[in-house]
Structure 1
Amino acid sequence: MNDLSGIRLIATDLDGTLLRHGQPIAPATVAAVRAALDAGIAVLPVTGRPLHWLDILRTDLPELDRVIAANGTVVYDLHQEQVLWKSTIAPALTGAFARLLDERVPDAVLAFETLAGSVVEPSFKGRTPRNASVVTRAEVVSGDTTPESLADVIKILVRIPGNTDSAKLQDAIAPLTRLDSGALHGTYSDPNNGLLELSPAGVTKAHTLELYTRSLQLTPEQVVAFGDMPNDIEMLRWAGTSFAMTGGHPDALAAATGACPELDAGGVAEPIRRILSAQATR
């Protein structure tokens, strides 16, 4: 375990780590985060959520201003509601991937997270807003006439109806993500919902966290990361100190330098208190 007294930034996943989806952030966790902020430690949510799923932060921790969203494709200012940095998927790459998917996995269905909101194919089933735009596969694959709704795609979502094994889906789709027009990076945030999340190649939570911390002149040794799922693995490996949630995905636990209690047993609050204690006694 690295020296906790040198931690200057806490980077934390949201769902399954800072909170349970659909529930508020626990009071003890809110108190720990606020104590860290009071001690001069930055707290940065790093989530797979798209921009329209960030209201929980504004409600429960309005002190937080910046967030890395959509698995690293966006840095967003919560107070100004402004995109500070983005890495989008080019329409040509989106179309090429959809065409190859038609040939190799014709029963797969797609959805897209964009800077403006969600876009779904008619048969896509998932947690998407009621006001999501609808797009047909023909529109997606049509290179020169890509619909305006697919501008600024930050994440492609893939499902195969009836499949709930996200790891198997990733294995099936991975050979299709390396194309002449570019490449995509696949990951997932739930092993049991059969949902693959695709970002531009090289863009992960760790990639954008490194860019962000470099702008603050911080090193990995000054960062602690918290996560629980495969989309957190690169971030957990990159940070000098990292904690995976007890009960989280085995690969996330293997990537971290330590484990922290499950959400119901205190979650990230306990190691944050240890960090504060280490800094108070240095």
Structure 2
Amino acid sequence: MRLVASDIDGTILGHDGKISDRTIRAFHACREAGVELVFVTGRPPRWLTPLQEQLGHSGTVICSNGAVVWDLAAEKALASHVLGMDAVLEARTIIKSIRPDALFAAETLTGFHLEPGFIENATSELLSEVTPAPLRQTLTADDAVVKFLAISRSVSPDDFLAEIQPAVAHLVTTTHSAPRTALLEMSVPGVNKAVTLAEYAASLGIDAADVVAFGDMPNDIEMLRWAGEGYAMASGHPEAISAAGQQAPHFDDDGVAQVLEAKLAAQRV
């Protein structure tokens, strides 16, 4: 075990926004043992505060499902894969033809754009930062879109993915990571967590066989398959569990920490 790659939400971070003390200790023990750490998330760079404040992480984070490699210490993108405006707007048209109730948002390297109604919670912090408006009005050719989002409130997450993914496959890579919300996450074709993680590991001279990865949702599937040891959380999505070679205990039982503790103990023997 030379590199640990972990998803964040539902894998090490709960709905309360907390990382458990046991998990924090396990990651610190990895660092002390000389094991590299990288977090691989669907989150944008602006939502990485828990890693900084709770874990004291200041290294690399692979964000937006592989579309951005972010340097936490320098607070800048080291690499990015950007969607063209034509692809975004064409995908929007196709999705709207299939699900007329769908609403859209776009994550860029510099901000967030969302359509009216995309967020239902009128008290959301995002609504105080961003004025909702049609994407055609707010996005420009200069905006670097790293993740295009579509939400529907009339279908399940898995069904939404199943009907939209093949229709837009020529334009975007499509996945989802919200367990109870039909929220699709789209990026440049061919880009996912595994692709960017493989590039990052190679830059460190680390082979897939020496990577231990953790995840819980469909956007983790490729990463879990690529890693020498891919662990899906027992509390995760059935497709992630099926895709992974191994299973970590339930999130509520500090599954990631349990696996890391056992591996570090075995390395010391």
- For the aligned pair, the TM-score class normalised by the smaller chain equals over 0.9
Q: Deviations over 1:163-217 (max 9, x none)?
A: 3x111111221233144xxx20111112421111111111100010001011111
Residue of structure 2 aligned with 1:132, choices 130, 135, 140: 130
Task: Give the whole-Å Cα distance in 2 for the aligned partners of 1:162 and 1:212.
Answer: 38
Percent identical among aligned pairs is 38
Contact preservation (8 Å) 2:113, 2:135: no
Q: What's the CA shift for 1:99? A: 2.9
Give the paired residue count. Answer: 265
93-102 or 44-53, which deviates more: 93-102
Task: Give the whole-Å Cα distance in 1 for the aligned partners of 2:237 and 2:98.
Answer: 29
Residue of structure 1 aligned with 2:162, choices 171, 179, 198: 171
Normalised to the residue count of structure 1, the TM-score between the two structures is 0.88
108-117 or 27-36, which deviates more: 108-117
Task: Give the whole-Å Cα distance in 1 for the aligned partners of 2:154 and 2:238.
Answer: 24
114-123 or 130-139, which deviates more: 130-139
1:37-76 maps to which residues of 2 (within 5 A)? 37-76=31-70
**Match for residue 148 of structure 2?**
156
Q: Deviations over 1:206-259 (max 9, x none)?
A: 010001011111110010000111110000000001111112111111111211
Contact preservation (8 Å) 1:10, 1:43: yes
Contact preservation (8 Å) 1:221, 1:239: yes
User: Do the aligned partners of residues 107 and 84 (structure 1) sit closer, same or farther apart at CA in structure 2, a change above 3 Å counting?
Assistant: same
Task: Give the whole-Å Cα distance in 1 for the aligned partners of 2:112 and 2:222.
Answer: 26
Task: Give the whole-Å Cα distance in 2 for the aligned partners of 1:137 and 1:273.
Answer: 46
Task: Give the whole-Å Cα distance in 2 for the aligned partners of 1:220 and 1:272.
Answer: 17
Task: Give the whole-Å Cα distance in 2 for the aligned partners of 1:161 and 1:46.
Answer: 27
1:14 aligns with 2:8: yes
Q: Deviations over 1:58-112 (max 9, x none)?
A: 1011134110011110010111101001001111211222233344433211011
Read off the aligned partner of 1:139 and give its amino acid letter: Q
1:177-192 maps to which residues of 2 (within 5 A)? 177-179=168-170, 183-192=171-180
1:275 aligns with 2:263: yes
Q: What's the CA shift for 1:27? A: 0.5
1:183-262 maps to which residues of 2 (within 5 A)? 183-262=171-250
Structure 1: runs of 5 or more not aligned = 1-6, 141-145
Task: Give the whole-Å Cα distance in 1 for the aligned partners of 2:118 and 2:234.
Answer: 32
Q: Per the alignment, in what secondary structure is the counterpart of residue 159 of structure 1?
A: strand
Read off the aligned partner of 1:77 and give its amino acid letter: D
Contact preservation (8 Å) 1:167, 1:191: no
Normalised to the residue count of structure 2, the TM-score between the two structures is 0.92
Read off the aligned partner of 1:129 and give its amino acid letter: L
Structure 2: runs of 5 or more not aligned = none
Q: Per the alignment, in what secondary structure is the counterpart of residue 255 of structure 2?
A: coil
**Match for residue 88 of structure 1?**
82
Q: Deviations over 1:123-180 (max 9, x none)?
A: 212677231243315437xxxxx536x71111111112333x111111221233144x
